[in-house]
Structure 1
């Protein structure tokens, strides 16, 4: 369709759409936001709204769909939730006064990473991430636009970048460099991220420390530029950029956090059954977000951990004061997001009333905190700014019954503004005058049911039914005719109406002006409000941890420098809470300075994985500052936790369970230190028995000889228990069972030494497999065990590991057959540096076949 055939309005639409080709354009036309062309077709399907057309009689009608402007937010939410951008084009002038087509401009672009005004508010953060790279390192910056939080860090590999983006649960990524095809495939297809390219940088010296690395600054500035381009306004609530480093926190990959059910249950995707669910007794949205952050990033600073512990202890020791504190926090609204609404110019009277109500609670909260008389609590008290002048402004200005609409009046308290009070007096007295006129005309005309009504179209009028039209006085003039009645006016009524309408209009305009002035005053307090929000959130999380510790009889963990673990009657905190303390069977864990590895054997369903997870959760709870589920706990401070618990394919990226196992094992072996915690469950089971056993043994030996990390290694390969004879820092433990009359009971208790049986067939029996099948399996097992008894795992007395002896023997055999040159040539031709993990595994498989 050529531009000559388009109306000016449609031409304007296409001009605007050209600037936002990757967004749904909501084009304001009267009381509706309209979508046209492909936008209309796709939106109608997604939103389940009617698809119509503009110029229906034309050869090529234009597809059209629309949503009412007053309920548009719910439709915007759906589009953004599906991963789309939405550009909002508003009318920038009054259509009644416009000459030609009404001027329209895009006033905001809402994207998955910039949602701040959802109709379904969620307490969780919504982080927008920006990524930049120089080809070697990566600068990563992220922000929650709804709270103004702003962070940046430097990273050295794409695997860590991927893990951090997953940890942040980001849905949109601002890219500041040219992605490789491999990187783009991971980000879009595997991680389902919306990518937005940003080349230019917005200089913001007041937010960004010039001493940060160039890549961090570049990523942060491109993030700010993208935000300004989409939000199209200056935002006063954006906070100073905070640089963070992973070494300052207990490092865990996204996979580890998921397998440990830290923020949500990995199986259900819900909060219930997670550590967050267990620890969340917070009373504010700010506290909920901060608690999630503490769980996501436990500390490695002993000083800060002890500071948190001290406050929890003070709260535990002062039951009544803590109860008062908890009750006072219930009246605290989400100050962080209220401040952002003020910054965005979206705060309404209800928002300010919530802010005012919160500020009335703050002096009480501060007084209660002062009563604890603790140095650590006093540090927080100093951050609790009561802001009395702001509380006084809001309480004196905003009517407690004010609506959320700022253009229709009745939002400013009487007595706050003298001129406004005069207008209200005219309106109030005018109402009395109208009542007097109504009574006077009823008596004069004899129309007993004569009354005065009002609507926007006709103003004030006398309502007269058809049966009384003969009694209407001559000086009444007709204003409107209805089916069963007519509306009349009089000169006297018109005069009073004019005065009242003028007063009402002037009053509404003045109230709007006063409210906007107050909102600007509130905006000047944003930084102080954000500091107050941080203090209240911290108090909320600590009182929550105190409540959880008290309710569940948790103990305060101690920390040592000897790299020893001594946990007496430890429990898996979440499972215990789900099952009930009476049913859960606790286990003690003891690893002295010289014991690095526990090799755990025992049947499935016996509790090996729970035992390992129990230790991980105890460490995480201890290092976020919480008390732990045990009778006693003495721990080192770990720098990282590496896990491989549970089998899972990564089908989207084409990786089998075994490949995922090997990749996660590789990450742990590369990055772990003597101060790390490694938890490997059944590593090596994804391949042939002897392959898996060889790999499992080699990994254990590597950790023992080269890393020295505290390690729990659960395995079904009972042959590996012989390693305790050769590895001085490894001990065997097993899950105990009770076997009586052919029946097996799993006791879920850990004891020293190796397990003597696997009991896999007994597990199958519990699962209900057919008896004939179980009997046949028992016979096969007996034959296999008899055959295996003649195959030694290793030659005793050798300095080499069993696996290396086997490999050496195989290579010697190859040499005797004069084929070793072919093998050597294959090895020399491998481009090891540039092999993908899958290619490496395939190459290893081919070499193995040659052997």
Structure 2
């Protein structure tokens, strides 16, 4: 819990009334925008913002004070600078709010407040000093812009995405449907924090686009249409782009500039982030065209169904400590850039088999070499700071000597890292992806290291004191000599004080220093009595570590020392400026080192998760799409198997094109159907991102999509019912799936009538199985759908098993071939301790509703034979009914009765057991 600040509102009644009047007249804002007021020594919030902040920071509104008087009266809350910085960091990076900070340009009584700076999840430029100065931020902060082009029937979606940390502008254009299914997949792949769209006119297209972003947890920022103008885009791109050697320095020649609709979005982002107003952005960015075909497509339902990322409303792990998402499971990264990259890789599973195998090769090396894996995690990677953020600060020339030293110490250690990698038995993948790039970059940084060694006092830097070497010029040398003399004289005081106080120097009595006080003496609390009321000694403060004190001589020498040190720091400023100017030229190599170490960090995290699982993961055999196989032996769900007290039951999954592509899974609730289909999706995802998989063995053909329809959550915030959500997600699957896709569907058809739901589920299953032919796992309670296996050879029935005994239901979680011939719903109700009379009523009603299904006849004990007999009987009954309906109404009653009797005898002549049983039942 944050400590309540001691500051008080330094305003008289008239000033309070004047401020509150100004505050009440500010333009209206959304609740997701928080306004701060900078009062130099502290910050304040007011009204609903004050109440919100008090609850978030102090867990109580007790710290809020009322300012002003009726009719101008509002709540106020004071935040210290540290609380302000922590709260802003949480608002922008976690809660994804907007922040505005106002400053008063007038005197204290004049309310001349103006907006000093503002920020949002995708626009952190003005808050970078707060967010990144002493903190490594592991989240990505990219911003996207979407513009629609073309006519309604030939709609083109233009997308631009700018990552200010990676210094990358990504653009693409594509056709899309009314629900923007392709855009949704792209949004999932890129994972932006904020999206700019043109202020809408209330059209359905605008509303659909806005809802898509909001349900993907992306902040929507509405911008004027003029912001999307491309009038100055060529000039802006010429300013921002880092052209390669030999490349014509004219953005107009780039193929990406031909994407007019997408570049309009780029123009809007450049204006929004004010990129061209900061020289640190000049010649720093790259532009590339997004190739969606490079990655396995994920829909939003698949992201939720497979728990790829943690949900915002849930903690990162369960109460037992097990991870509740794939990202939580895998992210053991040691570097901020590693954390960002692993989040990106999980959203961008690869379709290039060569790149996947390259990652698998490195993971295999690290899984087999325990010593290398351990040293990377516990030593080498811990030494790597956020080089991508430092590169950004370098480009803007906002680095400090400390930043320069952090880069130096990291680069100095890289040869040790590469040497250990070389000593390991790595293959061509590690060499090409990690070792060779690092060696080249170390060479590129050679002159940087020389400069740092020649200019900065590295011994002092290792102690946390960042200063230029005194040998750099005569003035610094002279000041350093004075500092040394004063320090020597100060050191000599300890023996005199020790004698005076009868204490042992260096053990009981110590001489220490820090940036706040300079030099001081310290003794333990136990020895405090030795200076109590002692003439000539002054206590500075007292805490658990002891009592800090000084005397007149030390105070005088300390003041002289601080004065000389300040002169030294002032004198070295010009030298530091020169160092930073030279260091800025190494922005590219520093950023590249960050990128390479991020890849090594992520692959090491994959190896750690694979090796440390309850049962070690295995390397999957990846095949081309043409092979058409997806076979998993003893597949396990990687998150569930980590839960305490869980002995996970593994199961096999087998798909083969033209032989078995569609599994219909039946069985009781809680029997493991959902876990089984989710496990398959998770294993396929892990294989495609380059990780090992939780199986005994796995053979997986490259997929183009992982699509899902799982769960029955109402989307009330989107104005969609359960059934409508099902239909929208399923429609997207039917438009997208191919024979190389993995589709998982769970309990389709709920939310409408039983027969209608069954009919819809049947038609969808039939279309997937006979037309699209993806690898599909279809879990259902509509047992009628299992008959599809009789008509379509590639459809197979699976069931999750359960045993009923002593009126108890035992779930086995084992998947085996066949159809589950009963529902077990009433057994589950009993397990949930339903009242006995409710269970009895349910059983009675079940018998009534399933009267014909309860009929027994010859062959009815075999589910497959029973279905065939009933099907044949239904067809005979339909023929009988059709003949009766076609009778001539002019016939007399006896003639009609005779005809019907003939039809009946004709039907009975088939001797169908089902019809015989129906006629003989009471």
TM interval, shorter chain, is 0.7 to 0.9
The answer to whether the 8 A contact 1:171-1:194 is kept is no
d(CA) in 2 for partners of 1:20 and 1:756? Answer: 61
Check if 1:383 corresponds to 2:437.
Answer: yes
CA RMSD after TM alignment? 4.9
Cα distance 1:20–1:219, how it changes in 2: closer, same or farther (>3 A)? farther
1:148 equivalent among 167, 192, 195 = 167
What are the Cα deviations for residues 202-224 of structure 1, in whole angstroms up to 9, with x where unaligned? 52135396312222222223212
Stretches of structure 1 lacking an aligned partner (at least 5 in a row): 1-5, 438-455, 460-466, 470-486, 817-851
Cα distance 1:794–1:265, how it changes in 2: closer, same or farther (>3 A)? farther
d(CA) in 2 for partners of 1:287 and 1:323? Answer: 16
Q: What pairs up with 1:13-52 in 2 under 5 angstroms? A: 31=41
Query: Post-superposition shift, 1:249?
Result: 0.7
Cα distance 1:36–1:580, how it changes in 2: closer, same or farther (>3 A)? closer
**Alignment match, 2:787:** 722
619-628 vs 662-671, which moves further: 619-628
The answer to whether the 8 A contact 1:164-1:254 is kept is no
2:468 equivalent among 383, 402, 412 = 412
SS at match of 1:382: helix
**Alignment match, 1:74:** 86
**Alignment match, 2:272:** 226
Cα distance 1:776–1:571, how it changes in 2: closer, same or farther (>3 A)? same
What are the Cα deviations for residues 12-61 of structure 1, in whole angstroms up to 9, with x where unaligned? x99xx9999998776766545678999999989998776687xx999989
Query: Post-superposition shift, 1:714?
Result: 0.9
d(CA) in 1 for partners of 2:643 and 2:558? Answer: 68
d(CA) in 2 for partners of 1:726 and 1:389? Answer: 73
Q: What pairs up with 1:409-558 in 2 under 5 angstroms? A: 411-429=467-485, 503-551=564-612, 552-558=615-621
What are the Cα deviations for residues 277-322 of structure 1, in whole angstroms up to 9, with x where unaligned? 2223322222222122111111111111111112222333444344
Check if 1:235 corresponds to 2:300.
Answer: no
SS at match of 1:613: helix
d(CA) in 2 for partners of 1:181 and 1:669? Answer: 26
Cα distance 1:571–1:267, how it changes in 2: closer, same or farther (>3 A)? farther
**Alignment match, 2:547:** none
The answer to whether the 8 A contact 1:285-1:334 is kept is yes
**Alignment match, 1:204:** 237
Check if 1:627 corresponds to 2:692.
Answer: yes
381-390 vs 150-159, which moves further: 150-159
The answer to whether the 8 A contact 1:167-1:254 is kept is no
626-635 vs 366-375, which moves further: 366-375
The answer to whether the 8 A contact 1:131-1:139 is kept is yes
SS at match of 1:522: helix
The answer to whether the 8 A contact 1:312-1:545 is kept is yes
**Alignment match, 2:195:** 173
Q: What pairs up with 1:344-363 in 2 under 5 angstroms? A: 344-363=396-415
Q: What pairs up with 1:294-373 in 2 under 5 angstroms? A: 294-326=345-377, 327-371=379-423, 372-373=425-426
The answer to whether the 8 A contact 1:264-1:270 is kept is yes
Cα distance 1:189–1:677, how it changes in 2: closer, same or farther (>3 A)? closer
The TM-score with structure 2 as length reference comes to 0.70
Cα distance 1:328–1:511, how it changes in 2: closer, same or farther (>3 A)? same
SS at match of 1:283: coil
Query: Post-superposition shift, 1:181?
Result: 4.3
2:758 equivalent among 693, 698, 704 = 693
What are the Cα deviations for residues 359-387 of structure 1, in whole angstroms up to 9, with x where unaligned? 22211112222333522111122211222
Cα distance 1:774–1:62, how it changes in 2: closer, same or farther (>3 A)? closer
Cα distance 1:766–1:121, how it changes in 2: closer, same or farther (>3 A)? farther
SS at match of 1:234: helix
The answer to whether the 8 A contact 1:237-1:527 is kept is no
Cα distance 1:770–1:642, how it changes in 2: closer, same or farther (>3 A)? same
**How many correspondences in the alignment?**
746
d(CA) in 2 for partners of 1:257 and 1:436? Answer: 67
The answer to whether the 8 A contact 2:169-2:286 is kept is yes
1:133 equivalent among 141, 148, 152 = 148
Query: Post-superposition shift, 1:131?
Result: 1.9
Cα distance 1:180–1:578, how it changes in 2: closer, same or farther (>3 A)? same
Cα distance 1:75–1:748, how it changes in 2: closer, same or farther (>3 A)? closer
Check if 1:658 corresponds to 2:723.
Answer: yes
The TM-score with structure 1 as length reference comes to 0.75
Cα distance 1:33–1:713, how it changes in 2: closer, same or farther (>3 A)? closer
Cα distance 1:280–1:766, how it changes in 2: closer, same or farther (>3 A)? same
d(CA) in 2 for partners of 1:714 and 1:783? Answer: 26
SS at match of 2:744: strand
Cα distance 1:354–1:91, how it changes in 2: closer, same or farther (>3 A)? farther
